[in-house]
Protein backbone atom coordinates (compact mmCIF):
# COMPACT_ATOMS: atom_id res chain seq x y z
CA UNK A 1 0.00 0.00 0.00
CA UNK A 2 1.44 3.38 -0.91
CA UNK A 3 1.48 6.27 1.50
CA UNK A 4 -0.85 9.25 1.48
CA UNK A 5 1.87 11.59 0.13
CA UNK A 6 2.67 9.22 -2.72
CA UNK A 7 -1.01 8.92 -3.62
CA UNK A 8 -1.32 12.71 -3.59
CA UNK A 9 1.71 13.01 -5.89
CA UNK A 10 0.21 10.54 -8.36
CA UNK A 11 -3.15 12.32 -8.26
CA UNK A 12 -1.51 15.71 -8.88
CA UNK A 13 0.53 14.32 -11.79
CA UNK A 14 -2.62 12.77 -13.21
CA UNK A 15 -4.58 16.03 -12.74
CA UNK A 16 -1.87 18.03 -14.52
CA UNK A 17 -2.01 15.53 -17.34
CA UNK A 18 -5.79 15.93 -17.61
CA UNK A 19 -5.44 19.72 -17.66
CA UNK A 20 -2.91 19.33 -20.46
CA UNK A 21 -5.31 17.09 -22.36
CA UNK A 22 -8.02 19.73 -22.07
CA UNK A 23 -5.67 22.34 -23.56
CA UNK A 24 -4.50 19.99 -26.30
CA UNK A 25 -0.91 19.73 -25.07
CA UNK A 26 1.09 18.95 -21.96
CA UNK A 27 0.88 21.82 -19.45
CA UNK A 28 4.56 21.79 -18.52
CA UNK A 29 5.61 22.43 -22.11
CA UNK A 30 3.19 25.33 -22.54
CA UNK A 31 3.49 27.19 -19.27
CA UNK A 32 7.17 26.92 -18.37
CA UNK A 33 10.43 27.47 -20.23
CA UNK A 34 13.00 24.72 -20.64
CA UNK A 35 15.25 26.38 -18.04
CA UNK A 36 12.43 26.53 -15.46
CA UNK A 37 11.51 22.89 -16.08
CA UNK A 38 15.18 21.82 -15.92
CA UNK A 39 15.75 23.66 -12.63
CA UNK A 40 12.58 22.16 -11.09
CA UNK A 41 13.40 18.57 -12.15
CA UNK A 42 14.81 16.17 -9.57
CA UNK A 43 16.73 14.33 -12.29
CA UNK A 44 17.44 14.71 -16.00
CA UNK A 45 18.72 11.95 -18.27
CA UNK A 46 19.19 10.86 -21.85
CA UNK A 47 17.91 7.28 -21.97
CA UNK A 48 16.57 4.49 -24.19
CA UNK A 49 13.49 2.39 -23.44
CA UNK A 50 14.22 -1.31 -23.03
CA UNK A 51 10.86 -2.49 -21.63
CA UNK A 52 7.31 -1.17 -21.16
CA UNK A 53 4.53 -2.62 -19.07
CA UNK A 54 1.05 -1.52 -18.04
CA UNK A 55 0.23 -1.05 -14.37
CA UNK A 56 -2.29 0.63 -12.08
CA UNK A 57 -1.69 2.91 -9.14
CA UNK A 58 -4.67 3.74 -6.95
CA UNK A 59 -6.95 2.79 -9.84
CA UNK A 60 -5.23 5.13 -12.31
CA UNK A 61 -3.72 3.43 -15.36
CA UNK A 62 0.05 3.80 -15.53
CA UNK A 63 2.82 2.96 -17.96
CA UNK A 64 6.03 1.67 -16.37
CA UNK A 65 9.13 2.09 -18.51
CA UNK A 66 12.46 0.43 -17.83
CA UNK A 67 15.21 2.53 -19.39
CA UNK A 68 18.96 2.36 -19.92
CA UNK A 69 20.54 5.69 -19.02
CA UNK A 70 23.04 6.82 -21.64
CA UNK A 71 23.92 10.07 -19.92
CA UNK A 72 23.09 11.55 -16.54
CA UNK A 73 22.60 15.27 -16.82
CA UNK A 74 21.16 16.07 -13.38
CA UNK A 75 20.61 14.07 -10.23
CA UNK A 76 21.94 10.80 -8.91
CA UNK A 77 20.36 8.00 -10.94
CA UNK A 78 21.60 4.48 -11.68
CA UNK A 79 22.47 3.25 -15.18
CA UNK A 80 19.06 1.57 -15.43
CA UNK A 81 15.91 3.31 -14.19
CA UNK A 82 12.19 2.60 -13.88
CA UNK A 83 9.93 5.53 -14.81
CA UNK A 84 6.20 5.71 -13.96
CA UNK A 85 3.93 7.68 -16.27
CA UNK A 86 0.16 8.21 -16.58
CA UNK A 87 -1.48 6.17 -19.36
CA UNK A 88 -4.58 6.86 -21.42
CA UNK A 89 -4.23 10.63 -21.64
CA UNK A 90 -3.23 13.07 -24.36
CA UNK A 91 -0.02 13.75 -22.43
CA UNK A 92 1.21 10.16 -22.34
CA UNK A 93 4.90 9.37 -22.41
CA UNK A 94 5.29 7.27 -25.57
CA UNK A 95 8.97 6.98 -26.46
CA UNK A 96 10.01 4.82 -29.39
CA UNK A 97 11.96 1.70 -28.51
CA UNK A 98 15.67 2.04 -29.17
CA UNK A 99 15.57 5.83 -29.67
CA UNK A 100 17.34 8.08 -27.18
CA UNK A 101 15.14 10.69 -25.52
CA UNK A 102 15.79 13.44 -23.02
CA UNK A 103 13.66 13.28 -19.87
CA UNK A 104 13.15 15.69 -17.00
CA UNK A 105 12.12 13.50 -14.07
CA UNK A 106 10.37 14.15 -10.77
CA UNK A 107 10.77 11.93 -7.73
CA UNK A 108 7.61 10.94 -5.86
CA UNK A 109 7.67 10.90 -2.04
CA UNK A 110 8.13 7.13 -2.11
CA UNK A 111 11.19 7.48 -4.38
CA UNK A 112 9.69 6.52 -7.76
CA UNK A 113 10.79 8.45 -10.83
CA UNK A 114 7.76 10.05 -12.52
CA UNK A 115 7.39 11.57 -16.00
CA UNK A 116 4.75 12.50 -18.58
CA UNK A 117 4.75 13.67 -22.17
CA UNK A 118 5.61 17.14 -20.84
CA UNK A 119 8.85 15.71 -19.45
CA UNK A 120 10.31 14.92 -22.87
CA UNK A 121 13.00 17.30 -24.16
CA UNK A 122 15.50 17.26 -26.99
CA UNK A 123 18.48 15.12 -25.91
CA UNK A 124 20.99 17.48 -27.56
CA UNK A 125 19.57 20.50 -25.73
CA UNK A 126 19.56 18.59 -22.46
CA UNK A 127 23.19 17.47 -22.77
CA UNK A 128 24.29 20.95 -23.84
CA UNK A 129 22.57 22.35 -20.75
CA UNK A 130 24.53 20.35 -18.24
CA UNK A 131 25.69 16.93 -19.33
CA UNK A 132 28.42 15.10 -17.50
CA UNK A 133 31.79 15.37 -19.23
CA UNK A 134 32.66 12.35 -21.31
CA UNK A 135 36.03 10.97 -22.29
CA UNK A 136 37.96 12.59 -19.44
CA UNK A 137 40.32 9.64 -18.99
CA UNK A 138 41.08 9.51 -22.71
CA UNK A 139 41.82 13.23 -22.82
CA UNK A 140 44.25 12.92 -19.89
CA UNK A 141 45.97 9.89 -21.48
CA UNK A 142 46.41 11.69 -24.83
CA UNK A 143 47.77 14.75 -23.02
CA UNK A 144 50.34 12.64 -21.14
CA UNK A 145 51.45 10.88 -24.36
CA UNK A 146 51.92 14.24 -26.13
CA UNK A 147 53.87 15.62 -23.16
CA UNK A 148 56.16 12.56 -23.06
CA UNK A 149 56.80 12.79 -26.83
CA UNK A 150 57.69 16.49 -26.60
CA UNK A 151 60.02 15.88 -23.65
CA UNK A 152 61.73 12.97 -25.44
CA UNK A 153 62.21 15.10 -28.55
CA UNK A 154 63.64 17.97 -26.48
CA UNK A 155 66.04 15.64 -24.62
CA UNK A 156 67.24 14.05 -27.86
CA UNK A 157 67.94 17.49 -29.35
CA UNK A 158 69.82 18.56 -26.23
CA UNK A 159 72.04 15.45 -26.21
CA UNK A 160 73.02 15.91 -29.85
CA UNK A 161 73.76 19.55 -29.27
CA UNK A 162 71.98 20.35 -32.50
CA UNK A 163 70.21 23.61 -32.73
CA UNK A 164 68.15 24.82 -35.60
CA UNK A 165 69.79 27.43 -37.82
CA UNK A 166 67.20 30.18 -37.67
CA UNK A 167 67.69 33.46 -39.52
CA UNK A 168 68.48 36.25 -37.08
CA UNK A 169 69.16 33.88 -34.18
CA UNK A 170 72.41 34.34 -32.21
CA UNK A 171 75.24 31.90 -32.94
CA UNK A 172 76.40 29.70 -30.04
Q: pLDDT tens digits, residue range 71-113?
A: 888 888 888 888 888 888 877 777 777 788 898 998 888 888 8
**pLDDT tier at 14 (50, 70, 90 boundaries)?**
very low
Residue 9 lies in a domain: yes
Per-residue burial over 118-128, b if 16 or more Cβ lie within 10 Å, else e, is: bbbbebeebbe
Q: Give the chain's domain count.
A: 2
Same domain, 101 and 144: no
116: containing domain? 4-130
Residue 170 lies in a domain: no
Taking the model in full, what pTM does it have?
Answer: 0.58
Same domain, 62 and 94: yes
Same domain, 112 and 75: yes
Amino acid sequence: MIGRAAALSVVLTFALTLVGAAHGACPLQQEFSFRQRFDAADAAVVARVIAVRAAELQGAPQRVLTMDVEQRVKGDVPTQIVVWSPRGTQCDLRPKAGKAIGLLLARSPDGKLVASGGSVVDPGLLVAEGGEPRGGAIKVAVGIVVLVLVLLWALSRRRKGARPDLPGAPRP
